[in-house]
Copies of this chain bind each other. A is one copy, B any other.
Amino acid sequence: MASTKALAALDDKNEQQHWSVYSKTRSTINEQPLSHDELDKTTRYFHASLYLCLGMLYLKENPLLRDPLEKEHIKPRLLGHWGSDAGQSFTYIHFNRMVKKYDLDAFVVSGPGHGAPGLISNFYLEGVYSEVYPNKSEDVEGLQRFFKQFSFPGGIGSHMTPETPGSIHEGGELGYSLSHAFGAVFDHPQTIALTIVGDGESETGPLATSWHSNKFLNPITDGAVLPVLHLNGYKINNPTVLSRIGEDELIKLMEGYGWTPYVVAGHNLDEMHQAMAGTVEKCVQEILAYQKEARESGRVFRPKWPMIILRSPKGWTAPRKVEGHFLEGFWRAHQIPLTKVLSDDVQLQTLEKWMKSYEPDKLFGKEGKLVPELRALAPKKGKRMSENPITNGGSLTKPLKLEPFRNWAMEVKEPGVSSGLSMNNFAEFLKDIMAKNPTNFRLFGPDETESNKLSAVYEATKKVWVNGYLPEDEDGGNIAPEGRVMEILSEHTVEGWLEGYTLSGRHGLLNSYEPFIHIIDSMVNQHAKWLEKCAEVSWRQAVSSLNILLTSTVWRQGRRLTITDSSSDS
């Protein structure tokens, strides 16, 4: 077969290591930080989360399987994603340990937001979900309602939608997890955004360039982002690019983006828990050390921030094969893992056996609540990631300090005689806003602030640049590490930063030319849909508006065939 022949050639020529997660566990950090007792509890907590994931996907009745599983207990239409749930839950649980140990202020951004059960299950286990939605209580009845509502008519979506506490990022349209996370930690110096990046998402353009956000983060006045690139190996029906390149290439790619990558790879639970525990702790220690160094010295520098490459099987802990076909560790685990439970008794039994293998009776007490010794693994009230007020940013929003805009009115003595420059005038107003709101407002744009005649703002603050400098920059470069105007030639990145900045309770404005703003049509639509739904969720506080200032007009670019205006020309 031609493909097999070629396959051999691929192996041979590239000397690629094809990192099957079923090889032995590998980790950059080789420590065993968890005691036997901690290891056991971590596994059980993980199992509790995975049990809840399957419950959300399948059950509308009989939530703890205290009765034999019958078809009547199963939802009539099965919709949801299992593939990335385990890896996301695994990551979240290990970061919980850090939140407790280092008293962190943290929250999570889920790039693969369609794998919502992996995180929603955790938000329920730590109690936040029931506090927000009292009828999804921590008992058998509440659990039944919690399961049934998931991806069910009248219930919640299968993504990290606005109804989900702890979320500012749905993860529907892929590519914006890192830019949202960075946006949320700018001017939040105490905050760490644990950011799970899917390996499907990592193929998108917006995500691919957003790794460079680290060149715009000030370690003194901003928080930190800890990306976890979750390589579970597959998209809907395809392997992912980054999971199949040689690991030498992958490491270089992340180092090239300016990060320090740490690998955790495997499937054996005990070994993976130890590897992840040690790795997450190493990363947190590095983040805190870099921040301490910058803040004590008062010197801005660009650390090679840590990030984690997590290789775990897609659909981890599912049966490896079902009916002769790969399930765990293959793309078939992407959505509903067993699709025929309603029509096939054997599959129904397989599901029951699988769910019971997590031993729900030992995880949940008689009344249906997570047993106290496991609950103790979650951070204490007030510190749980899913209740971080950043994820309900409207609760943090402070009004902008604004002078009356009429102060910048242009005098019109008689009609048709006065003249003035609207953008230059507006720039003076904007300069005043930036000066009066030094931690609550930022100006964003792809590289057009100057050509849009807004350069008066540089009298209040420069463009942020935490990257190399040259002597020429003193000649009107207007860049500085502590600047608050944010420009990178990626409309996706600046829009993602602005969205993250406003969703976490601040204000901003993006300026761009109308001819090119269509590049982010789709992003703006997604944001508008998020806001629209938020308005229907009673506990969500309104965030500030998404301000976009457009100059020039789209038709200019469409007809740039004769003469064009240099102010609208890149």
Contacts and interface: CB of A to CB of B under 8 A. Distances in A.
Contacts of A481: 3, 6-7, 9-10
B451 A237 contact: yes
B208 A563 contact: no
Contacts of A330: 472, 475
A256 B258 contact: no
Interface in A505-537: 516, 518-519, 521-522, 525, 529, 533
Nearest to A462: B3
Contact of A239 (B153, B253, B450, B467): B467
Contacts of A3: 462, 479-482
Tell me which of A13, A16, A153, A257 has the highest count of chain B C-beta atoms within 10 A of its own C-beta: A13
Interface string A96-119: 000000000000000000100000
A300 B239 contact: no
A311 interface: no
A365 interface: no
Interface in A95-143: 114
A12 interface: yes
Can you tell how many copies of this chain the complex includes? 2
A155 interface: yes
Interface stretch (A44-52, A61-69, A199-207, A375-383): A199-207
Q: Contact size class for A?
A: 35 or more
Contacts of A157: 560-562, 564
A18 B450 contact: no
A416 interface: no
A560 B159 contact: yes
A9 B475 contact: no
Interface in A462-489: 462-463, 465-473, 475-482, 487-489
Nearest to A13: B301
Contacts of A11: 469
A401 interface: no
A300 to B, nearest CB: 4
B205 A493 contact: yes
* Interface of chain A, main secondary structure: loop
Interface stretch (A34-42, A169-177, A384-392, A544-552): A169-177
A326 interface: yes
A204 to B, nearest CB: 5
Given A174-B570, A246-B468, A448-B236, A209 B212 contact: no
Given A208-B209, A209-B205, A468-B244, A239 B477 contact: yes
A152 B563 contact: yes
A561 B238 contact: no
A321 to B, nearest CB: 9
Contact of A238 (B479, B560, B563): B479
A450 B234 CA distance: 14
A437 interface: no
Residue among A77, A329, A477 with the highest chain B CB neighbour number at 10 A:
A477
A472 B326 contact: yes
Contacts of A215: 241, 244-245
Contacts of A491: 204
B175 A205 contact: yes
A447 interface: yes
Interface string A251-281: 1111111100000000000000000000000
Nearest to A79: B566
Contacts of A238: 447, 463, 479, 487, 489
A151 interface: yes
A7 B8 CA distance: 51
A167 interface: no
B256 A489 contact: no
A300 B212 contact: no
Contact of A201 (B257, B448, B489): B489
Contacts of A304: 14
A311 to B, nearest CB: 12
B475 A325 contact: yes
Interface in A307-327: 325-326
A518 B522 contact: yes
Interface string A199-227: 01101111111101001000000000000
A566 B18 CA distance: 31
Contacts of A301: 6, 9-10, 12-14
A486 to B, nearest CB: 11
Contact of A468 (B245, B476, B557): B245
A114 B561 CA distance: 12
21 contacts: A3-B480, A6-B482, A7-B469, A13-B303, A16-B468, A79-B565, A152-B563, A153-B562, A157-B561, A172-B570, A203-B488, A204-B209, A204-B489, A204-B492, A205-B207, A236-B448, A237-B450, A241-B488, A256-B257, A330-B475, A521-B522
Given A14-B302, A152-B562, A204-B209, 17 more contacts: A3-B481, A5-B299, A6-B481, A13-B302, A79-B566, A79-B569, A157-B560, A157-B562, A163-B561, A205-B209, A205-B490, A212-B241, A236-B448, A241-B488, A251-B256, A253-B255, A253-B256
